[in-house]
Structure 1
Amino acid sequence: MSSSSVADHPIGIDFGGRGIKAAPVDLGRGDFAGDRQRIATPDPATPDAVADVFVELLASLAKAEGIDGSTSPVGVTVPGIVRHGVVGSAANIDDAWIGTDADALFTKATGRAVRVLNDADAAGLAEVRFGAARGQNGLVVVTTLGTGIGSAFVHDGVLVPNTELGHLEIDGHVAESRAANSVRESEDLTWEKWARRLTTYYRTLERLFSPDLIVVGGGVSKHAASFLPMVELETPIIPALLLNKAGIIGAALHAAEG
């Protein structure tokens, strides 16, 4: 891979609870344009500490690809609500994030044009443009089943941000407290029992929003054959395709086109 081809690509950074990962993205192919770099998430993961990791990651990418890349836009996922670059929630990250203008903080720290978005929204953008929902018109709901339940609405290719559908109350329970993959693991649910809970969850989304397609992401989506056929809906429901690449690809797409 020539350094000139990599230098022009936007960079996606996926900020997770255990690791922060980054890669240049080829938006023509919807795939990484170079090797992914990873650094462990700092503890505590305050905004300033995370910004320092971003600087280190960008330097590692430049060294690995033999490029400067200082003009490449950078997109960043954050596990929280993001309004116009400002983080508005911190359910699974340090409380110091609440009210932080992450766009401004990371742009100043890195010297790059940085744009931040919710992690599930990034995955949704990637799946609609390059993944399981490619070419699908109308409303696509992308959900990520993990520690909680993330969600993204994409209508005719346009993101409607910050839906947070894992926090819906269903039958007196917060949805993700009953149907997240972490609950399946902690309660040792069979695939069949979990599929019944997922059916309740997805039928609620179906009634409320009448989507044209539901895409199921998160790491557990690689086991989709074990549970998705038992989720009974009228709406087509399919597994995501991009798996752990989705956040980085969606973040880079957001930075380049958002």
Structure 2
Amino acid sequence: MVVLGVDIGGTKIRFGVVDSTGQVIEDHVVPTQIPLYPYLEEKIVEFLQNHPQIEAIGIGTRGMVDAEQGVITFETETLPGWQGTEVKALLQKATGLRVEVNNDANCAGLAENRLGAAKGFRRTVCLTVGTGLGGGFVIDGHIMNGAHGGAGEVGHMILYPNGHVCACGRPGCSEQYVSGTALRRFISEQNIVDENNELVSPNRMFELAQEGHVKALTLTKQFTGDLAVVISSLQAVLDMDCVVIGGGVSESADGWWSYLLEALEPLLLKPLEVKRAKFGNEAGMLGAALLVWTEEN
């Protein structure tokens, strides 16, 4: 079976033609536009016209998803109007094809568990550290969705009660401390600048930490310490055998990985494999395609 995998993010949408072995035959990226649904349907119908071999569609998206009904149950104003959209029913009617829908971090976790860094592990947690902090739990090859599609919302675990207010409206969510957005806020607050007196990127901050820059090193240890607490808390609940860390911030992991392992060691209750994700930007799209085969099994 050849499947169209679609990964919907806040700034871009990735489409990929994926075969039954998990090979990406072709992929294409377009910018995200609002209102999202009519634009998404238009692009998918157009894609199908050019790829008639596609037999089903898998969608990975930001927000909480009722995977059984294929409905977006919660999304912030990053994608205004997306919450409440009956994606599965609408797309099945528009295309005549089977459609499966799930959260993007869940999809990334499925890809890593089936084909990537966590292949062979039974209980996997995938953390996507990017603009926000996402999580996907894959147990015995299947995504843990929860009663309302909210399982795996690691970024909305309270890390610092009464802390920085999150986009969800609650104070102290973990993604306000463990994410690219959080790192940029910290860099601004600490005024870590380059030779041109411009704020550095998170990538550059990690490099400066390696060079001994005091403020950069302090922020790096704060970031990895908070991430270690998140992982430790998840272990206490799930007792997973593998954690995979992906997302945009993980691309700079050479600059902070050793600090994470150092912070994590005294917090672990039991042995735990902590691995870097195998798939980069393709993870969500590939996992979206795998939704179809997962639901068949």
What's the TM-score bracket when you normalise by the shorter of the two chains?
Answer: 0.7 to 0.9
Letter in 2 for 1:113: R
Q: Quick one: structure 1 residues 58 and 49, their matched pair in 2 at CA, closer, same or farther if it must change by over 3 Å? A: same
Equivalent pair of 2:35/2:80 in contact (CA under 8 Å): no
Which of 17, 21, 35 matches 1:24?
Answer: 17
For 2:26, what is the secondary structure of its paired residue? coil
Corresponding residue for 1:169? 158
Letter in 2 for 1:250: G
Please give the alpha-carbon distance, in whole angstroms, between the structure 1 residues aligned to 2:254 and 2:159.
25
Please give the alpha-carbon distance, in whole angstroms, between the structure 2 residues aligned to 1:177 and 1:165.
11
Q: Quick one: structure 1 residues 26 and 149, their matched pair in 2 at CA, closer, same or farther if it must change by over 3 Å? A: same
Letter in 1 for 2:56: P
After superposition, give the CA deviation of every residue in 1:132-172 in whole Å (9 maximum; x if it has no partner): 000012x2111101111111111121210232111001231
Equivalent pair of 2:2/2:18 in contact (CA under 8 Å): yes
After superposition, give the CA deviation of every residue in 1:177-206 in whole Å (9 maximum; x if it has no partner): 111122113322543332122122222222
Equivalent pair of 2:142/2:294 in contact (CA under 8 Å): no
Corresponding residue for 1:191? 220
Corresponding residue for 1:153? 137
Relative to the length of structure 1, the TM-score reads: 0.86
Please give the alpha-carbon distance, in whole angstroms, between the structure 2 residues aligned to 1:9 and 1:254.
12
Corresponding residue for 2:242? 213
Equivalent pair of 2:179/2:249 in contact (CA under 8 Å): no
Corresponding residue for 1:227? 256
Relative to the length of structure 2, the TM-score reads: 0.75
After superposition, give the CA deviation of every residue in 1:198-223 in whole Å (9 maximum; x if it has no partner): 12222222233222111111022222
Which of 100, 103, 117 matches 1:118?
Answer: 103
Q: Quick one: structure 1 residues 93 and 108, their matched pair in 2 at CA, closer, same or farther if it must change by over 3 Å? A: farther
Equivalent pair of 2:128/2:246 in contact (CA under 8 Å): yes
2:89 aligned with 1:88, yes or no? no
Deviates more, 1:239-248 or 1:48-57: 48-57
Q: What runs of 5+ residues in structure 2 fail to find an aligned partner?
A: 162-171, 188-215
Corresponding residue for 1:37? 28
- The CA deviation at 1:124 is 0.6
Equivalent pair of 2:7/2:13 in contact (CA under 8 Å): yes
Corresponding residue for 2:2? 9
The number of equivalent residue pairs is: 240
2:106 aligned with 1:107, yes or no? no
Letter in 1 for 2:280: L
Letter in 2 for 1:35: E
Which of 98, 115, 131 matches 2:116?
Answer: 131
Please give the alpha-carbon distance, in whole angstroms, between the structure 2 residues aligned to 1:41 and 1:165.
24
Letter in 2 for 1:253: L
2:293 aligned with 1:256, yes or no? yes
Which of 49, 52, 63 matches 1:59?
Answer: 49
Corresponding residue for 2:200? none
Equivalent pair of 2:127/2:244 in contact (CA under 8 Å): yes
Moved over 4 A (4+): none
Letter in 2 for 1:187: F
Letter in 1 for 2:42: D
Deviates more, 1:172-181 or 1:94-103: 94-103
Please give the alpha-carbon distance, in whole angstroms, between the structure 2 residues aligned to 1:112 and 1:92.
29
Kindly report the root-mean-square deviation, in angstroms, between the aligned alpha carbons of the 2 structures.
1.8
Please give the alpha-carbon distance, in whole angstroms, between the structure 1 residues aligned to 2:128 and 2:59.
17
Corresponding residue for 1:201? 230
After superposition, give the CA deviation of every residue in 1:210-237 in whole Å (9 maximum; x if it has no partner): 2211111102222222222212333321
- The CA deviation at 1:92 is 4.8
Please give the alpha-carbon distance, in whole angstroms, between the structure 1 residues aligned to 2:127 and 2:20.
22
2:228 aligned with 1:243, yes or no? no
